Structure formats: C-alpha cells, structure tokens
Amino acid sequence: QVNPVESGGGLVQAGGSLKLSCATSGRTFSSFAVGWFRQAPGKEREFVAAISWNGENTYYADSVQGRFTISRDDAKNTGYLQMNSLSPDDTAVYYCTTGSPHRIGGTHRAAFEYDYWGQGTQVTVSS
C-alpha cells in the first residue's frame, strides 16, 4: 500500500504561496502516479494536478495551469504541490492520492484512476 498523508496547508493572503507535501508509506511509491484533488464547500471534488510514476508527464487543471507545480521525490516517497499566486477561489480541502500501475489510466484526471487517498489538508486564501 501507498497511503498518502498531506501537510502544508494553512491560511494565506491572496497572491501568496503554499507548498503541500504528500508523504507516503510503502516501498512501491516510485511506481505510483501522484495526484492532487480539491473540494471546496458545497462543490464536488475536482482534479488539480497529477504526475506520472516516472515524473516525465505532468497534468494540470486549466484553473491552476501556470500557477501550480507538481513534483515528486522518490527517494523521500513524497509528492509535492507548489501553489503560487493563490486566490480565494483556491480555498478548499486538498487531497493527495496515488495511483498504481494497473489502475492509473491515460488521463490521470479522474478520481477512479487512483487507489489511495489522504485525509486532506485545508487551504484557505483570504482576499
């Protein structure tokens, strides 16, 4: 299993930055894709960003393209989401998820492509 645990959320002013971390257990992290989703109050969970198992491909929602950067450090079994130029619209609970090779599909954008989910970390952006 590769169970994610998120950290790094908090309160930040509009225009500020945060870096989320996704620490995992297990010895197979390097073969898993990593994704970030978010859910704002009253809204459905939505895709934010993903990175392929080998780090060669990254995927972003249009709303965060150019502002967020996803990365991974396989030596630390950890994924990251650097968030810049934050706006109040980015306020949400952010979830890290991992997708095994037999489950992850070509899009990396659908929740059903992922196996393990963290509990989430709150990001609040004040105006």
pLDDT score, position 120: 97
pLDDT score, position 6: 97
- In a structure prediction context, what are the per-residue pLDDT tens digits for the chain, which is 127 residues long? 678 999 999 999 999 999 999 999 877 899 999 999 999 999 999 999 999 999 999 999 999 999 999 999 999 999 999 999 999 999 999 999 999 888 887 889 999 999 999 999 999 999 9
In angstroms, the CA 8 to CA 112 distance is: 25
pLDDT score, position 95: 98
pLDDT score, position 106: 80
DSSP 27-68: S-GGGSEEEEEEE-TTS--EEEEEE-TTSS-EEE-TTTTTTE
Check: CB of residue 123 under 8 Å from CB of residue 9: yes
pLDDT score, position 103: 86
pLDDT score, position 45: 97
The phi and psi torsions of 31 (rounded to 5 degrees) equal -100, 5
